[in-house]
Amino acid sequence: MIRTLAISIITLLTAFVYSCEKVPAEESPATTLPDSHQEEQDKNDEDPVDSGVNSKTLVVYYSFTGNCKSIVKSVKDNIEADVLEIQPADEGLDYAADNYAIGSSLIAAIREKPDDAASYPAIKPVNRNAADYDTIIIVTPLWWSNMAAIMQSYLFQEGSKMKGKKVGLIVSSYSSGISSVVADARRLIPGGEFHEDNLWVNNSNRSQQDALVKEWAAGFQNNTDTMPNTIKITVSGKSLPVVLDKNKAAEALVAALSEAPITYEADDYGGFEKVGALGRSLPANDTQITTQAGDVILYSGNQIVLFYGTNSWSYTRIGKMEYSTLDELKSFLKAGQGIINVTLSL
């Protein structure tokens, strides 16, 4: 009875709060903005102001209420980077006042004419040149489902300098999904090499922000700086290099091997392969393929197949062993001789 009454009161209160909002529920911005303008000014004073390039990576951010600024601190704990804060030329505007009226009209103008420079609010001059960096990480709030107008202004101006560069995207919203922000980023950074995992921080996961950023940063860096393109296979003290394909399975295998080598048992099957359980699953993306001798294949998500013959099946290729002759490969894999111990390492 008391529980039913409590639920009814909460439901009524929630309905009341949303009825006071002008925006649709799925786009409702944070109803309370942190009172952090002085705190922001203090944090701004810590930001680098010189225009020298110290790193290969540039983190570019805009933050109205401090959430993205806080995300940038987490990023800096994990990635060596220079930082550029984008600031509107018009100081002191309250984009959230009057049910987000200013923010709403800025976004509406860009949506109406995205190719017209006049649609974008003016920003202060920037003291970093994106062209000097290999990697750009954009940290931006979401406004009305789109990228915050101030960040869009920066990218409209500078995005073309990011062609061919590795680009990461981190978006902070109250609750709205970020697909339109991703679309904005791709429109404004033509030719950017986008990291496929975007990080979305929102009010439900903000308390785990540090851990989320840490995990995202590890994936982002694995994918860029540290992903080796070979691993090693060792059988009975002899080793062959494996040239890796570029896919999630290979990435996950490298990540596992960076912690420790993996040894597993493999046995002959079908007169064309040595197959064995890896002891863990890797992300499969199976397609029908005809394998060749030397192929290193993920089968069923958790088994590794080393081919000394061919077979047609739905597999995910991880890479290919480098060998000189088929006889050498067969001897290395002890083809037809039963169980062997295989060690994979970096």
Residues forming contacts to ligand FMN in the complex (CB under 6 A) are: 27, 29-30, 63-68, 95-96, 100, 103, 141-145, 172-176
DSSP 10: H
Q: Using the Cα atoms of residue 231, residue 260, residue 317 and residue 342 in order, give the sign of their dihedral.
A: positive
DSSP helix/strand/coil, 266:
strand
Rounded Cα distance between 253 and 102, Å, is: 49
Rounded Cα distance between 100 and 145, Å, is: 13
CB 187 to ligand FMN: min, Å: 18
Comparison of 43 and 330: residue with beta carbon closer to ligand FMN: 43
Q: What angle do CA 44, 49, 53 make, to 5 degrees?
A: 130
CB 127 to ligand FMN: min, Å: 20
Comparison of 174 and 194: residue with beta carbon closer to ligand FMN: 174
Q: Of 244, 256, 307, 251, which Cα lies nearest the Cα of 284?
A: 251
CB 195 to ligand FMN: min, Å: 20
CB 198 to ligand FMN: min, Å: 15
Comparison of 103 and 276: residue with beta carbon closer to ligand FMN: 103
Comparison of 142 and 282: residue with beta carbon closer to ligand FMN: 142
CB 340 to ligand FMN: min, Å: 54
CB 317, CB 245: distance < 8 Å: yes
CB 156 to ligand FMN: min, Å: 18
- Which residue is closest to ligand FMN by CB? 103
CB 194 to ligand FMN: min, Å: 21
HSE-CB of 23 using CA atoms within 13 angstroms: 22
Comparison of 107 and 305: residue with beta carbon closer to ligand FMN: 107
Rounded Cα distance between 187 and 160, Å, is: 10
Rounded Cα distance between 17 and 335, Å, is: 70
Comparison of 100 and 315: residue with beta carbon closer to ligand FMN: 100
Rounded Cα distance between 262 and 93, Å, is: 57
Rounded Cα distance between 212 and 287, Å, is: 31
- H-type helices in 123-208, by residue range? 149-158, 179-188
Rounded Cα distance between 169 and 157, Å, is: 18
Longest dimension (CA), the chain: 79
Q: Measured in whole angstroms, how far is the alpha carbon of residue 264 from the centre of its chain?
A: 31
CB 197 to ligand FMN: min, Å: 19
Parallel, antiparallel, or unpaired: how do β-strands 57-61 and 135-143 relate? parallel
Comparison of 141 and 319: residue with beta carbon closer to ligand FMN: 141
DSSP helix/strand/coil, 24:
coil
Comparison of 142 and 278: residue with beta carbon closer to ligand FMN: 142
CB 85 to ligand FMN: min, Å: 11
Comparison of 205 and 226: residue with beta carbon closer to ligand FMN: 205
Q: Measured in whole angstroms, how far is the alpha carbon of residue 198 from the centre of its chain?
A: 4
